[in-house]
Amino acid sequence: MQLKRVVVTGLGAVTPIGNNLTDYWEGLLSGRNGIAPITLFDASRHDCRIAGEVKGFDPHDYLDRKEAKRMDRFSQLAIAASIQALTDAKLTIDELNADEVGVIIGTGVGGLKVLEEQQEVYLSRGPSRVSPFMIPMMIANMAAGLTAIHTGAKGPNNCTVTACAAGSNAIGDAFRLVQRGFVKAMICGGTEAAITPLAIAGFASMKALSTRNDDPTRASRPFDRDRDGFVMGEGAGILILEELEQAKERGAKIYGEIIGYGMTCDAYHMTAPSGQGATRAIELALRDANVQPEQVDYINAHGTSTPANDTTETKAIKKALGEAAYKVAISSTKSMTGHLLGGSGGIEAVASVMAVASDRIPPTINIQNLDSECDLDYVPDKSRAQKVAIALSNSFGFGGHNVTLAFKKYV
């Protein structure tokens, strides 16, 4: 089989620091912080009362009121980012090409908000009052399904649900479909809207969340000695992946090329990373891309701001890259956005592609006292102008799921 070259021709982002690509990217480069007290519900009883909420998002900019009312927020965010990405790519889907365009959008938990709300309805008003739209609003595949309905994409349609690796899995799986000639283009990425009472309570109960409620803008602090947990975020990041020859034929703008996909499992522990799977994911992505460690210019780290992840990821990068690890620029954009769970791989792939396209590296903010076990170049505080020919994006999820994506400057 003759493998196709696959390029990125469109990007869309709805995030805690910007509701479109331009605002998101400028926010990352300027070190804008999106963490603040929770407003989506009354969090006064919770140990954790901060999150990275999407601000000022109006679903009616993309959907009519009746449609929006019948969707959970995670689907609304995905459709918004997908429409942005298609518009950016100037890719029109019609009856001539609909079968050649597919959708894969990952999510960690799907429609949790509507599930919680309808559980309350069930308990207080009885089973007959539960909404007939609960199931189609709740199930995780609906972001991908509804995106296809609203864009007309009739090709392969799937939903990856691999916790915090879901968005990256979606992009990697979409890459394979285009690379092998099954489709000409894919709408792919991740979405999440899990800033809900039960989700915050659940993550807090397992001591995963930061409780720096009195200082929210400094709560997400990857690689810092004093980190105390991650901060929940929400949003969606979508890429348009396209077969190179089609992209050239229609004169598309090309941000970069996707060249590698590594996927492994720790098979070790439900929540604690072993590091071995992460190392192999990086190594597999490099092998798939035919790239040597010393060629990597930038890594967008998973970098959650949890004690276990940041040291384990640092060790994995060092094992996979060897001495080259000390020369590569690394940043965790979660320091600004918080952790979008299944949506994180989407917005972080967008950031990685933009780094390749613009030769700018976003910073890791809030590093005040670097953890002694985290001894690499994490681009602290300020963005950096630097040539980025090859970038990696890491995503690791509960269950031991590990994904690394590799992007390259298009030449």
Which residues are identified as catalytic? 164, 302, 339
CA-based end-to-end distance of the chain = 23
**CA-to-CA separations, 288 to 82, 319, 405, in angstroms, rounded:** 27, 18, 10
**CA-to-CA separations, 50 to 76, 188, 220, 233, 308, in angstroms, rounded:** 22, 29, 10, 9, 21
For 352, the 3-state DSSP assignment is helix
For 330, the 3-state DSSP assignment is strand
For 360, the 3-state DSSP assignment is strand
Task: Annotate 73-124 with DSSP letters as a single string.
Answer: HHHHHHHHHHHHHHHHHT----TTTGGGEEEEEE-SS-SHHHHHHHHHHHHH
341 neighbors 230 (Cβ within 8 angstroms): no
| Of the candidates 369, 307, 297, 340, the residue with the CA atom closest to the CA atom of residue 192 | 340
User: E strands of 123-171, at which residues?
Assistant: 157-158
Residue 202 burial (CB < 10 Å; 0-12/13-18/19+)?
middle
223 neighbors 367 (Cβ within 8 angstroms): yes
Residue 198 burial (CB < 10 Å; 0-12/13-18/19+)?
middle
DSSP H/E element including 353: helix 344-358
38/198 Cα distance (integer angstroms):
13
| Of the candidates 184, 138, 188, the residue with the CA atom closest to the CA atom of residue 160 | 188
152 neighbors 69 (Cβ within 8 angstroms): no
